[in-house]
Structure 1
Amino acid sequence: MSRLEQRFADLKAEGRAALVTFVTAGDPGYEASLAILKGLPEAGADVIELGMPFTDPMADGVAIQLATLRALEAGQNLAKTLQMVREFRTGNQTTPIVLMGYYNPIHRFGVERFVADAKDAGVDGLIIVDLPPEHDEELATPAQAAGIDFIRLTTPTTDDARLPRVLQRSSGFVYYVSVAGVTGAGSATHEHVEQAIARLRRHTELPISVGFGIRTPEQAAAIARLADGVVVGSALVDKIAQAKDAGQAVDDVLSLCSALAKGVRNARA
């Protein structure tokens, strides 16, 4: 059983949803980003999505675009992102880490080298937003052969004809993007999310995590009553942008993570 499968199985036994947190690797700098990464599990994150900075993050809103720019300006690259995971694993062997981003940096790095290095570093899953299932042979197939889960995005516009194709080779969990648009967009209604999750459950037995537009403990709790996982990204990234220095960025991200975790944990109490 992979770390992702184990984590979702454990949380299902506990009767609660997972808090899935997103931060961009290298934002606001390597050391502060590593401190955030290492602190997230203790602050209540159950699964961590770690963004791989890329110069053209077309699916992301302003907050994560700016985070990517800060990381790149600080010298972050794919090799350093994998090194962050290695350093994280020296103290944590249980929290799943999912790398999220775009195919271009992986293609330039070399797929075979990337898959081997990611597995060796302790990466558990990949979310590659610009690689549809028609291109599985590019990365999904070799990644899964190495034991790395390949997590698919589904959206409100993924209809019943398309959904089976998207989910066919998915593993780890399904990430439901609850609103059409870029990251940081407005949140969906409770009724919409409830209906979307019911539809997804007819097509897959994988855990379903819901993201986009979740910013507060109250919003996180509302989604946690419906889904297997609650994804929060832009709200955490905004704390870094608003901080006066790297130390405050670390503290503020972890403080918000703790508040979100309490919301998720109390949702079904």
Structure 2
Amino acid sequence: ADLLTPGAFLGPWRLVAIDGVEWDVPDSEQNAAAFGYPGGGAALPKARLVSISECSSHAHLAAAIGPVVGEGSGEQSLARQLYPTLQGDQLLLADSNFYSFEDWRLAAGTGAQLLWRVGVRVDLPLIEDLGDGSYLSLVFSRQAHTRQAKARIVQAVKEGRQPHPDQARLVRVVEYDVPDRGLEAERELICLITTITDPRTVTAEQLARAYHDRWEHEVSAAQLKTVMRGPGRILRSKSPDLIRQEIYGYLLAHYAISALICRAATNAG
């Protein structure tokens, strides 16, 4: 995508998203040992793919493949392999599953901007109301896990001092709910944090709208698994190395097709 591609950018930042998906693989001894079986009595081993894709074109820009069980099998673990590929002109969208202070710090350290959803257990004290429906807050590391430690850091920041980067990071918070998600009692609060702290650059409403482009990654995953591979089909290879090659083959083919479609759509206006 380029600057003329509709929906590709929010201000100067290219919208990209990270998420994971699982692939059924043949039930060979090698595949079972390398990838494992998910819980619930699954009949087939599964490989986990975590990737960063461009929201507008659906093209996958970086990917990591791993097991679904055991050490290092979670989406967060695979995502850590991908954060170093981020670039300064990108805005990375992520669901709450990817948040931890350490991962936030790792991804933000690349120079890319971040817009991630966080769960209700993340403590987000008010530092400054920004007047557009968002406010400045802090996220804390495990080093500042006590109420007293957090209070000291909050007070220091309110007095104009910068927090130690190993203890806390300044973020901007955008909270909202979606009015058509069901009955009033069923409405789910969506809480986003971002590294874009200046409301003059991007408004809270623009950030909330941009976050929902994260679902374009779901579209991209469906194109890979359902359209290209075919519904109900499993990968063919019986060795882990060939499974990885097969998945990367799908990713490369999907990238080429996505780039072609995006170029045609951009040229058509």
Q: Same fold (TM over 0.5)?
A: no
Whose strand fraction is larger, Structure 1's or Structure 2's? Answer: 2
Whose helix fraction is larger, Structure 1's or Structure 2's? Answer: 1
Using structure 2 for the length normalisation, give the TM-score.
0.42
Which has the greater radius of gyration?
Answer: 2
Using structure 1 for the length normalisation, give the TM-score.
0.42
